[in-house]
Amino acid sequence: MSMQPRAEYPRPQFVRDRWLNLNGEWEFEFDDNNAGEREDWQSGAQAFSRTIIVPYCYQSELSGIGETAFHDIVWYKRSFRIPVEYGNSRILLHFGAVDYEARVWVNGKLVASHEGGHTPFQADITDALSDEDNLLVVRAVDYSKDVTLPRGKQFWEEKSAGIFYTRTTGIWQTVWLEPVSETHLGRCRVTPDIDNNEVKLQAFVEAASGRDVSLRATVTFQGALVSEDTFRMTRASETRTITIHDFNDHGLGRWWSPEKPNLYDLRLTLLVDGQETDTVQAYFGMRKISVEDGVVLLNNRPYEMRMVLDQGYFPTGLLTAPTDEDLKRDIELTKEMGFNGARKHQKIEDPRYLYWADRLGLLVWGEMANAYHFSESYVGRVTREWLEAVERDYNHPCIVVWVPINESWGVTNILVDSQQQQHALAMYHMTKSLDPTRPVISNDGWELVKTDLVTIHDYEWRKDVLEDRYSTVDKALSARPGNRWILVPGFPYEGQPILMTEFGGIAFQKSGWEGWGYSGASDDEDFEQRLRDVIGPIAKAPLLQGYCYTQLTDVEQEINGLLTYDRKPKIPLERIRAIVNGR
């Protein structure tokens, strides 16, 4: 299969006009004997025997390799030139994600090391560059069989089985360069406050020492100026509050919601000694997610979340969508079926997906790709990567809930092990310390400790059982679906909103993929009736304030999607929409 590699700007919340995409064909080599560094492959002298299409992992069809055997150490290299028009700029090299560890050399000089398979990293490579051709070499290490590694659904055996799928090793998101001035913007945090009609802007500047540095922040809505402010950057980080003199509620508003995904554009211009040195385009949504008196609120109004579980796998690209349009289409299909949200399951999703969720209007629960077993080294790994994930995605209005742990993954003995309980508590409180604006779930599905929402996973398929089980709070919290406590003893229910965040999972084979589900349908009519039998009782249960149906698409051998793996609806979208909307 041949196609153009991903070419869209990979960081839509922090856009610069000038950038150089390094996706495409790279030289590639397996290093099963771990000989590469000893033999100085980083110098570029060693010839590699393969090529690969970046940013697709070697296990995927789109990479041009498509092998699923274990190769835990892989090497990449390619040459590049810095465009003449970049002049004397500093050159930043960016990686969207490399699974799991990466070491990066430019012209034989080590410029970056990073651990964490789902989060971005960058390096200033200016001092390693030459005037003409430059050589970029990457060594990626993936510990395929280490079940204490934050891995999501990547299986530690060669062939997919059960709920686990083909692994992703190495580069799987875009690689790119951009020129910046020595003094430039590092990042920004944007926090909307609809109650006071304000937005708080925290800007971070690199290499500002001893200079007269100012930042101009220009806010527009559909091209019309809303606010403009210029302020001195006396430190590496400055915070300002900008008043949004604008409409708000009563149907006239510009608040963000799935029904009205209004976005403000934000242009940040850095001035050094009065001269413009850096300009970044960003955006934000005036949106509030909160819990008041045990009720989930969006923009201070009760809001029922009708979500679908979305694992973000693709037949030819695995964790990497073949094209940006594929990410957009998944959101369009989700909305066409009547859902207003998606729980991105066991995957820190590509920022381009979050961009389209912001633009098109879809609530997203941001979830960590978990490990499977507990160890002290796991604690360090998952904590560091989750810190990076929350920082990367903080500004997206679509993200309304954080899920650091799912179904006791990595903390399999949390019910009785105080150390694992403390880890879940630490992840909960750490997330709250990074982001006080969003609810956090300590352990989605069961065995919850301190948590902002009580979330339940229940794959019961009998309508009468579901109607009875979710008729009262006491019945719901004592039912123990999957033979699990909902709340860990010692962490009593405190009146939090209750949501059903996994259920359904009806298997229905409508493609060449064979597989399994939590219950099975024999034909279209049976599938539709089974959907009604599980969604109806959950949607109508007064104590449940939202749900997440399993799942959007089939994934490899798991055929319990509403769509096939190649995104074909199993029954007409309008019939699914009628069920989701209670008709």
- According to DSSP, the β-strands at 24-30 and 20-21 are unpaired
CATH 2.60.40.10 at 184-284, yes or no? yes
Paired strand residues for 24: 54
Angle, CA 441 vertex, CA 437 and CA 442 arms, to 5°: 125
Query: Considering only CA atoms, which of 154, 183, 169, 223 is closest in space to residue 29?
Result: 169
Q: How many CB atoms lie within 10 A of CB 23?
A: 20
Own/partner long-range contacts of 426-435 (Cβ < 8 Å, ≥24 apart): 426/383, 427/382, 427/383, 427/386, 428/404, 430/383, 430/386, 430/387, 431/386, 431/390, 431/402, 431/404, 434/387, 434/390, 434/391, 434/394, 435/390, 435/394, 435/402
Paired strand residues for 219: 227, 266
Q: Which residues are within 8 A (CB) of 536 and not within 5 positions of it... i.e. 6 or more apart?
A: 463, 579, 582
Mean of pLDDT over the chain: 95
May I ask the CATH architecture of the domain 20-180?
Sandwich (2.60)
Q: Which class for 133: exposed (0-12), middle (13-18), buried (19 or more C-beta within 10 A)?
A: exposed
SS3 574: helix
> Do 156 and 425 contact (CB within 8 A), yes or no?
no
Going from N- to C-terminal start, the domains of the chain cover 20-180, 184-284, 289-580
User: What distance in Å separates the CA atoms of residue 361 and residue 355, rounded to the nearest whole number?
Assistant: 10
pLDDT value at residue 1: 45
For the CA atoms of the chain, what is the radius of gyration?
Answer: 24
Summarised one tens digit per residue, pLDDT across range 103-159 is: 999 999 999 999 999 999 999 999 999 988 999 999 999 998 999 999 999 988 888
Q: What are phi and psi of 135, to 5 degrees?
A: -110, 125
Distances 105 to 86, 278, 341, 469 between C-alpha atoms, Å: 21, 27, 41, 58
Indicate if the alpha-carbon torsion angle 391, 394, 398, 403 is positive or negative.
positive
What would the DSSP string read from start to end of 413-438? TTTT-HHHHHHHHHHHHHHHHH-TTS
Those residues of the chain that have pLDDT short of 50 are 1-2
How far, in whole angstroms, is CA 68 from its chain's centroid? Answer: 24
SS3 448: strand
- Tell me: cis bond preceding 419? Omega within 30 of 0 counts: no
Q: Which tokens belong to 157? A: 């055996």
Question: Helices in 26-179 by DSSP H: which ranges?
Answer: none
H-run or E-run covering 382: helix 376-393
Beta strands across the sheet bearing 50-54: 50-54, 24-30, 73-80, 134-141, 101-106, 109-115
**pTM listed for this prediction:** 0.96
Instruction: Read off the amino acid at residue 109.
Output: K
SS3 69: coil
Q: Which tokens belong to 218? A: 């220009």
pLDDT value at residue 251: 59
User: What distance in Å separates the CA atoms of residue 173 and residue 440, rounded to the nearest whole number?
Assistant: 27
pLDDT value at residue 508: 93
Distances 396 to 28, 94, 191, 267 between C-alpha atoms, Å: 35, 20, 10, 16
Helices 376-393, 418-434: inter-axial angle, 10-degree rounding: 20
> How many helices and strands in the chain, by DSSP H and E?
8, 31
pLDDT value at residue 138: 98
pLDDT value at residue 582: 86
pLDDT value at residue 160: 87
The DSSP 8-state label assigned to residue 563 in this structure reads B
Q: Which tokens belong to 575? A: 């019939």
| Residue in the block written with tokens 């007064």 | 542
- Tell me: cis bond preceding 192? Omega within 30 of 0 counts: no
User: What distance in Å separates the CA atoms of residue 560 and residue 507, rounded to the nearest whole number?
Assistant: 4
Say what percent of the chain tops pLDDT 70: 98
pLDDT value at residue 158: 85
31-67 as b/e: b if 16+ CB within 10 A: beeeebeeeebbebebebebbbbbbbbbbbebbbbee
CATH superfamily of 289-580: Glycosidases (3.20.20.80)
Q: What are phi and psi of 93, to 5 degrees?
A: -105, 125
Summarised one tens digit per residue, pLDDT across range 376-407 is: 999 999 999 999 999 999 999 999 999 999 99
SS3 545: strand
Residues in the chain: 583
SS3 410: coil
